[in-house]
Amino acid sequence: MAIKKIIAANWKENPGTAKEAEALFSAVMRAAASVPSVRVVVCPPSVFIGSVGNLMRTQAGRISANFALGAQDVFWEDEGAFTGGVGPRILRGLGVRYAIIGHSERRRFFGETDEMVERKARAAREGGIVPIVCVGEPHEVRRKGIAAAKRFLAVQLRKGLKGIADPDRRGKGKELIVAYEPVWAIGSGNNDRPADAAVIAAFIKTMVPGAKVLYGGSVNEGNVREYTQSDEIDGALVGGASLKADAFKKIIHTI
């Protein structure tokens, strides 16, 4: 069955132990296995990627079709004197297929710039990892309206995807995902109006032809369908609700 929508679970710096990460994933796995039309991308903290990946693998050693492993970040170098760096090659070796890049928390707490996002996205793509590049405007911009938000996002997209926005340069058919995450909606319980998110997703698609667009920002089991029923929105990036097995299972089934 064709995969229709993508749900990416951003666990952030949670949970606290590998055992808890395995338990969370195991609970979700049973729910997702019966919904093959949804691709569930699980992005644990990097130190737990190996153990979650082992649970994802079938007895044949392959990751079952509706699951994929994701990382929450990727460095642009594969190897060398880059303390703390984890590049595409290391991640690929663990079975990672997707990497979140430029999340607003990385921009805020780790000083990531659009230029760094661009280097990471390019390296990920060259290393065989699908970038999930996050963009989103702060509240003071959105307060001025959708047109102001589009102007803000256009700068982030132009700079952050400079080397790969054009399908000819990134290679036709190569997957690229943009996550539209208005900063004010993340973790606030104040999700964007689905109709507005769809307008912005359509705008992102005009700027980045061929990209899939996810919406992220306080998605839960009660509102996910309002986003995913739009043709413009290809799925959701879910933070808080992905840590609650029951809520996340409902998200997968609701779609």
Binding site for ligand PEP (CB under 6 A): 10, 181, 186-187, 216-219, 237-241
Q: What is the spatial distance between Cα 245 and Cα 200, in angstroms, rounded to a whole number?
A: 30
Q: How far is the CB of 225 from ligand PEP (least distance, A)?
A: 15
**Of 78 and 226, CB closest to ligand PEP:** 226
Q: Is the dihedral of CA 233, 11, 141, 153 positive or negative?
A: negative
79 a catalytic residue: no
**Of 170 and 234, CB closest to ligand PEP:** 234
Q: How far is the CB of 21 from ligand PEP (least distance, A)?
A: 17
Q: How far is the CB of 56 from ligand PEP (least distance, A)?
A: 21
Q: How far is the CB of 113 from ligand PEP (least distance, A)?
A: 19
**Of 170 and 213, CB closest to ligand PEP:** 213
Task: List the catalytic residue out of 112, 118, 181, 221.
Answer: 181
With beta carbons less than 8 A apart as the criterion, state whether 191 and 183 touch: no
Of 196, 189, 197, nearest in space to 215 by CA? 197
Angle at 202 between CA 197 and CA 203, to 5 degrees: 95
**Burial class of residue 1, CB neighbours in 10 A (0-12, 13-18, 19+):** exposed
**Of 170 and 182, CB closest to ligand PEP:** 182
Task: List the catalytic residue out of 103, 105, 112, 221.
Answer: 103
With beta carbons less than 8 A apart as the criterion, state whether 73 and 99 touch: yes
Q: Annotated active-site positions, please?
A: 103, 181
